């Protein structure tokens, strides 16, 4: 097999209960947010994904269609599917700063006696309140779509 054409490889979690095509969509969105994928990057070829995961090619095509609908990728006939947009709205140095802030917040939450589920519940409800009050920035739409 030739060298990798795409910066990413898929993996599947059979126990997650998340449909296979959605797992692929989520992994691409995750890679976009963290900057592993940039506009112009090629997604794994359908044949390669199929050969390495032993899944139905239609599943990969369905995931790529979903990304096209979301405006994140587009297919080039005879070449493959390529990233056309980015979800990575924050530059990496700022990301590190935000992560530090979050860690100190988590330390405080932990000290206050919140367990993991409590923390996730608090973050989720706060985020919802924040979006409801501020109307949200451009990120809100994609986030909600990703959850639904």
Partner 1 sequence: MNVIEASGLGKRYGGTWAVRECALAIPAGHVAALVGPNGAGKTTLLNLAVGLAAPTAGIVTVLGGCSAGSPAALDGIAFVAQNTPLYKNLSAADMVHLTRNLNRRFDQGYAQDRLGELGIPLNRKAGHLSGGQQAQLALTLALARRPRLLVLDEPMAMLDPLARHDFMATVMTAVADDGVSVLLSSHVLAELERVADYLILMSAGRVQVAGEVDDLLACHRVLTGPAAEAGEYAERSCVVHARSGGALAHLLVRTSGPTDPVPPGWDAHPVSLEELSLAYLRAPGAAALPGPARIRNAERAEVAK
Pick from 4, 5, 9, 47 the residue near partner 1 by CB under 8 A: 47
Kindly state whether residue 92 participates in binding partner 1, applying the rule CB under 8 A.
no
What CA dihedral angle connects 33, 24, 20 and 123, to 10 degrees?
0
Q: What phi and psi values does residue 2 have, to the nearest 5 degrees?
A: -70, 170
Pick from 5, 58, 124, 126 the residue near partner 1 by CB under 8 A: 58
Cα(118)–Cα(114) distance, integer angstroms: 5
Pick from 30, 33, 52, 95 the residue near partner 1 by CB under 8 A: 52
Kindly state whether residue 56 participates in binding partner 1, applying the rule CB under 8 A.
yes
CA end-to-end span of the chain = 37
77's torsion region: left (phi>0), alpha (psi -120 to 50) or beta?
beta
The CB-of-62 to partner 1 minimum distance in angstroms stands at 9
Kindly state whether residue 14 participates in binding partner 1, applying the rule CB under 8 A.
yes
Instruction: Please give the residue ranges that form the binding site for partner 1 (CB under 8 A).
Output: 12, 14, 17, 20, 46-47, 50-59
């Amino acid at each position: 097999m030739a060298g990798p054409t795409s910066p990413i490889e898929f993996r599947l979690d059979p126990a997650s209960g998340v449909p296979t095509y959605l797992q692929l969509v989520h992994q691409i969105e995750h890679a976009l947010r963290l900057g592993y994928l940039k506009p112009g990057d090629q997604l794994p070829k359908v044949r390669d994904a199929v050969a390495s995961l032993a899944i139905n090619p239609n599943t990969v095509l369905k995931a790529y269609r979903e990304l096209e609908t979301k405006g994140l990728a587009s297919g080039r006939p005879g070449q493959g599917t390529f990233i056309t947009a980015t979800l990575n709205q924050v530059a990496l140095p700022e990301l590190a700063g935000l992560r530090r802030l979050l860690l100190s917040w988590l330390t405080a939450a932990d000290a206050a006696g919140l367990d993991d589920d409590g923390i996730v519940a608090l973050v989720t409800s706060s985020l919802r309140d924040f979006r409801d009050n501020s109307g949200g920035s451009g990120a809100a739409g994609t986030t909600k779509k990703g959850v639904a």
